[in-house]
Structure 1
Amino acid sequence: MKTISVYGVNKNSGNTTIAVELALISQKKGLKTLLVDLDIHTGNVTKRLKLNRHPNISDWCEDIYLACKETSIINIKYTQDQWLQFLQRHSSGLDVLTSSSNKKLPGYGNIYYEIKIIYNSLIDSDYDVIVFDMSNIPTSFSYMVLEDVDLPILVVDTFRYNLKLLKHFIWDLEDVHFPVNKLKLLFNREASPVEDLPETVAQDFKLPVLGVLPEVQPEREFCDADEFNKRLSELFDKFMGLPS
């Protein structure tokens, strides 16, 4: 199994588009793929893929909460047969654990342990690839996922204000002794003439550049045979060790 997380440092970074596209590319290549929306408060994978509101990750969290009344949360485990009920299937064949955009879900307390139970259940499955779409709000469970996955992607651009956000995000990670050198930068557009080049940004932050994508057009459909899809597909093949 290979695991990928896509984290957007700033709002409207395009991380959801990239995560969904990567998952669809993987599925199209014949790999058993699961897309997980871990933006539990404002995620919009459900809307993007025109899926139903239920079942979703909130339903799974509720199931864990009810189980806690019978046993300690550290003893709760799920087999794959038990958690398949919380997935939806896209018309492409892609399996999706959606978010309900449930603003009532807490961002603290047991939610970390609930997401950890869910995460551990997923990675102990028979999927070839799991792609996690992350919120741009740092949480304890997002740090956990970023640290554990095989390919933790930071979606960034070279706009000066957003680079400041990236700097503060890196500082916050270093404060909790996160292995920052594991992260890979993926630029969501080419730099403008007045901005630093991606290579310069990477040198400043001492992080490798995974790639530079063309800016996504608003009317673009998923898996269009365009330059965006081509570059993402090449990055995916390289990560998976597939022939180009």
Structure 2
Amino acid sequence: MKTIVIHSIHPGEGKTKVAKELAGYLQLQGHSTLLADLDFVTDPARRALGLPSTPNLEDLLEEITRQSKINPFFNINFSEEQMNQYLLTHNSGLKVLSSENAKYLASDERIAEKLTVVVRSLKKLPYDYLIIDTDSSARDYNQAIIQEADHVLIVTDNFRYSVKDLRHYVMKMHDIGFSTLNFKIVLNKVPNPLQVSIEELEQESGLKVIGIIPVLTKGTKAATMQTEDINLTVAEPDKNPEFLQAVKDVLAAL
């Protein structure tokens, strides 16, 4: 399994869009893929998951909490059958660990350890790819998730304040002992020539830009919580050929 974590420095930069489209494309191309939404901070109405609200991440975390009363976190294990109880299935075959708005989890002093159990349990499942969507904080639980990744994609734009904050984020990761050799940048829209160039962005951040995911074209249908279906733009190649090619390019770069 290859584990790809999708992260950003600011909220609303397109992490969920990138995560679900990468996962959807891989699944539609015949790769067994698992999409894990580990963002329990963002309002779920803003997520384009469109799947039932349960089972979800919170249910799994509650079970981990129960087990932690008799076992240390490092000794908590789930079988494939047990983990499948917490996964939803899209009609493309894509498996999804969904998440609801549960901001209180961020104040759980053991949340980093619990999410480490989640990610390591997911990585034991028989899939080709695990795509993980995170929230935009630099909290310890996101650092625990990133530590389990083969690739970390930072979704951002090329506005000056974004570049400055990204540079500070990378420096902070280095200060606490993280290597960023597996970090890459994905731009969330075609760069504005009046802002920082790709070359300058790479130089200032020390990270390589591996792709540009354009803004979705108008008329793309929106997912709703009633459809029980993820709006996969990659499933409509005739309507969004440039978008599909951009997704291909990002995966090819990995």
* TM-score higher than 0.5: yes
Q: Which residue of 1 is the match for residue 170 of structure 2?
A: 170
Structure 1: stretches of 5+ with no match in the other structure: 240-244
Does the CA contact (< 8 Å) of 2:155 and 2:185 recur in 1? yes
In 1, the alpha carbon distance for the partners of 2:80 and 2:46 equals: 22
Q: Which residue of 2 is the match for residue 185 of structure 1?
A: 185
| Alpha-carbon spacing, 1:118–1:60, altered in 2? closer, same or farther (3 Å) | same
Alignment pair present for 1:155 and 2:152: no
| Alpha-carbon spacing, 1:106–1:30, altered in 2? closer, same or farther (3 Å) | same
Q: Which residue of 2 is the match for residue 83 of structure 1?
A: 83
Does the CA contact (< 8 Å) of 2:37 and 2:132 recur in 1? yes
- Which deviates further from its counterpart, 29-38 or 2-11? 2-11
The equivalences for 1:195-214 within 5 A come to: 195-214=195-214
- Which deviates further from its counterpart, 52-61 or 221-230? 221-230
In 1, the alpha carbon distance for the partners of 2:184 and 2:45 equals: 23
Q: Which residue of 2 is the match for residue 242 of structure 1?
A: none
How many residues are paired up? 239
- Which deviates further from its counterpart, 173-182 or 24-33? 173-182
Does the CA contact (< 8 Å) of 1:189 and 1:212 recur in 2? yes
1:67 deviates by 1.4
1:35 deviates by 0.2
Does the CA contact (< 8 Å) of 2:211 and 2:249 recur in 1? no
In 2, the alpha carbon distance for the partners of 1:178 and 1:220 equals: 39
Q: Which residue of 1 is the match for residue 50 of structure 2?
A: 50
1:231 deviates by 1.2
Q: Which residue of 2 is the match for residue 114 of structure 1?
A: 114
For 2:142, the aligned partner's letter is: S
Alignment pair present for 1:236 and 2:239: no
- Which deviates further from its counterpart, 19-28 or 86-95? 86-95
- Deviation digits for residues 27-63 of structure 1 (CA, Å, limit 9, x no counterpart): 0001111000011222638952211111001000000
1:68 deviates by 2.1
Does the CA contact (< 8 Å) of 1:57 and 1:99 recur in 2? yes
Alignment pair present for 1:20 and 2:35: no
SS in structure 2 of the partner of residue 142 of structure 1: helix
1:15 deviates by 1.0
Does the CA contact (< 8 Å) of 1:19 and 1:133 recur in 2? yes
In 2, the alpha carbon distance for the partners of 1:125 and 1:96 equals: 13
In 1, the alpha carbon distance for the partners of 2:76 and 2:147 equals: 23
- Which deviates further from its counterpart, 12-21 or 132-141? 132-141
In 1, the alpha carbon distance for the partners of 2:81 and 2:252 equals: 30
Root-mean-square deviation over aligned CA pairs: 1.9
Report runs of 4+ in structure 1 exceeding 6 Å deviation.
none
Does the CA contact (< 8 Å) of 1:46 and 1:52 recur in 2? no
In 1, the alpha carbon distance for the partners of 2:253 and 2:47 equals: 30
What TM-score, normalized by structure 2, do the two folds share?
0.87
